[in-house]
Each structure stands twice: as C-alpha cells, then as structure tokens.
C-alpha cells in the first residue's frame, strides 16, 4: 500500500517518514512488507490508509 508512491516521489517518502515518527513504529514497513494479519488489524489499518492517502494527495499537489 503506497510503495510505488514511496519509491517514486520524495514527498511520499517524506509523508511515510513523518507517519513513522509520529506513530512511534514503522507504518511504512507494515504497509510495504506486512504481515497481512497485522496490517488488517484496525489499529494499524486506519493509520496505514491515512498515510497512503495523504502521500497520494501530496503527490497530486506537486
């Protein structure tokens, strides 16, 4: 989730890095590598979707 944006746009990398720091854990790693069981837990899914969505929005605003 969001890995292509992360790999291709600095603003997306910055967004995922901000989320990692704010959350205190690597949401980026969870989005890109899983495990699926952890990603689908609501406590992780909501910030993952928000982070991917904000990174996409920021890419579109370039």
Give, for all 62 residues of the chain, the pLDDT tens digit. 899 999 999 999 999 999 999 999 999 999 999 999 999 999 999 999 999 999 999 999 99
Domain that holds residue 34: 3-60
Predicted pLDDT of residue 39: 94
Predicted pLDDT of residue 40: 95
Q: What's the domain count of the chain? A: 1
Distance, in Å, from the CA atom of 1 to the CA atom of 17, rounded to the nearest integer, reads 15
Q: What is the pTM of this model?
A: 0.92
Distance, in Å, from the CA atom of 12 to the CA atom of 6, rounded to the nearest integer, reads 5
**Under a CB-based contact definition with an 8 Å cutoff, are residues 9 and 59 in contact?**
yes
Predicted pLDDT of residue 1: 87
């Amino acid at each position: 989730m969001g890995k292509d944006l992360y790999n291709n746009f600095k603003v997306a990398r910055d967004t995922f890095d901000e989320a990692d720091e704010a959350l205190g854990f690597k949401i980026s790693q969870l989005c890109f590598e899983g495990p699926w069981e952890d990603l689908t837990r609501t406590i992780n899914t909501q910030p993952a979707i928000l982070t991917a969505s904000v990174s996409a929005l920021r890419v579109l605003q370039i």
